[in-house]
Chain A
Amino acid sequence: MPQQQMSEEQVNALQEKIKNMSPEELKEFQKKQCIFCQIVSGKVQSRKVYEDDKTIAVLDINPANPGHILLLPKEHYSIMPQMSEDEISHMFMVTKSLSNVLLRGIGAQGTNIIATNGVAAGQRAQHFMIHIIPRMDKDNLDFTLPQHTISEKELDEVSKKLSKSLGGIKESASEAPPKFTLPEKKVVDAEFKEKPTEKQSESKGKKPEKKKLKSAEKTKKKAEKKENRESVDLDDIARILGAK
């Protein structure tokens, strides 16, 4: 038998099937196909360096540098905009901690954090992940972004669109901060073989922020203590930052 090739008819039938799936069915379908979901469930072996109830961190088997970490949500999401605010908050606090681990644990002099949403952005797997890459001087990596002079007209157009979509700009920061909620989620047109359609629909509103001055003193002390604990490594990084 030659390699199993799907006929055009079969491909169409599959596409039709995918199109008619409910978001739940589609998610289940994607999950079954997803190697990273199998890493999460332990069906595929990995070098796990961190795990909690929502996330798992493994070493990249094709690392940009030794110590290159992939942080994955345990839940299957194709791209970041599908995640809830709480999940994003948690993911990136873990990211910060893992970045710190790389600075302290393996003597990295810096880190890059890269998230890719969509194939055009360099996404390879259909499971959202955050790359945390340790960096050293002269490590043969180059993530320099191209620079273009962007016309005033283009900048105005884009800023108008984006600021409107984001809920505008508070002129005075001293005013009561806006409630931090996600706008109604829409389907995002990232290019996938199977388009992600399901969305986390609920957006949990943040509690209004109030300043509690009475505990300020205590918290400040706590913060100072914390900074002392971190000072050695972070000073090193800041010094490197200042040295160039």
Chain B
Amino acid sequence: MVSKESCLLCQIIEGKIASKKIYEDDLVLAVLDVNGANPGHCFVMPKNHHPILEQIPDFEVSRLFQTANRISSAIFENLGVQGTNLFVTNGVPAGQTVAHFMIHIIPRKENDGINLEWAPKQLTEEEMSTVELKIKEQAKNIGDFKTGEEEKVIKQPPPAPSQSSEDDDYFSKQLERIP
């Protein structure tokens, strides 16, 4: 775990940095993006520090996206928009800039200047088959989701930086390098 001092979102969660909160419970916090794509643009984050999705326990993933969906509904009902996007950037090549997982929820209107589209890449049948096989092979192991209550006790207070394991040190060092 990265030390809380070095993570912007952990500081927001702790209240050291002011934010416009719209929802908070024991696991997640949702705030408006002050530099958002538009006025209702917000993000929901886990209170525990997790850089990327794959590191988040299932029950937290579950709560995060259920909350994102509730926010999406609330945006539809209250902001008079025509659509919403849920958007996640996982890793720097995907556009992630903060080392704390978050889900963007973006209200949408026609011609609002937001573009989450792509030009389709042309793949040969063979290329498609190769990638299909690789994914299928790995996807065999999917299942056994941990949503039960006992799983919730995994939630431990993050260790103090001095007590962290080697892995944690590694993460801290790397993440501190984010400008």
Q: Quick one: closest B residue to A216, CB to CB?
A: B153
B160 at interface, CB cutoff 8 A: no
For window 103-161 of chain A, which residues contact chain B by CB distance below 8 Å?
103-106, 109-123, 133, 135-137, 139-141, 143-150, 154-159, 161
Q: Contact at B131–A67, with CB atoms within 8 Å?
A: yes
Question: For residue A98, which residues in chain B have a CB less than 8 angstroms away from its CB?
Answer: 135, 139, 142
- The number of residues on chain A lying at the interface, defined by a beta carbon within 8 Å of a beta carbon of chain B, is 118
Question: For residue B142, which residues in chain A have a CB less than 8 angstroms away from its CB?
Answer: 50, 52, 94, 97-98, 101
Question: For residue B36, which residues in chain A have a CB less than 8 angstroms away from its CB?
Answer: 145, 147-148, 150
- How far does the alpha carbon of A94 sit from the alpha carbon of B74 in the complex, in Å? 25
Q: Contact at B91–A121, with CB atoms within 8 Å?
A: no
With both chains docked as a complex, state the minimum distance between the C-beta of A106 and any C-beta of chain B, in angstroms: 5
Q: Contact at A110–B93, with CB atoms within 8 Å?
A: yes
With both chains docked as a complex, state the minimum distance between the C-beta of A142 and any C-beta of chain B, in angstroms: 8
A243 at interface, CB cutoff 8 A: yes
Q: Mark B157-179, 1 if CB is under 8 A from A, else 0.
A: 00000000001001101111111
With both chains docked as a complex, state the minimum distance between the C-beta of A48 and any C-beta of chain B, in angstroms: 8
- How far does the alpha carbon of A94 sit from the alpha carbon of B61 in the complex, in Å? 10
Q: Contact at B25–A159, with CB atoms within 8 Å?
A: no
Q: Mark B75-102, 1 if CB is under 8 A from A, else 0.
A: 1111101111111111111111001000
- How far does the alpha carbon of A2 sit from the alpha carbon of B33 in the complex, in Å? 53
Q: Contact at B149–A110, with CB atoms within 8 Å?
A: no
If the complex has contacts A111-B90, A162-B75, A183-B70, are A69 and B135 also in contact, measured as CB distance less than 8 A? Answer: yes
- The number of residues on chain B lying at the interface, defined by a beta carbon within 8 Å of a beta carbon of chain A, is 111
Q: Contact at B174–A242, with CB atoms within 8 Å?
A: yes
Q: Contact at B120–A64, with CB atoms within 8 Å?
A: yes
With both chains docked as a complex, state the minimum distance between the C-beta of A117 and any C-beta of chain B, in angstroms: 5
Which residue of B22, B118, B127 is within 8 Å of A159 (Cβ)? B22
Which residue of A81, A105, A135 is within 8 Å of B94 (Cβ)? A135
Which residue of B32, B51, B91, B134 is within 8 Å of A111 (Cβ)? B91
With both chains docked as a complex, state the minimum distance between the C-beta of A99 and any C-beta of chain B, in angstroms: 6
Question: For residue A65, which residues in chain B have a CB less than 8 angstroms away from its CB?
Answer: 121
Which residue of B41, B83, B132, B138 is within 8 Å of A190 (Cβ)? B83
Sort A-B residue pairs by CB-CB distance and give the 3 closest, nearest first: A110-B91, A118-B83, A242-B174
- List the interface of chain A (C-beta within 8 A of B): 47-50, 52, 57, 59, 62-67, 69, 80-81, 83, 85, 88-106, 109-123, 133, 135-137, 139-141, 143-150, 154-159, 161-163, 165-167, 169-170, 173, 177-178, 180, 182-183, 185-186, 188-191, 207, 209-213, 215-216, 219-220, 223, 227, 230-231, 233-235, 237-244
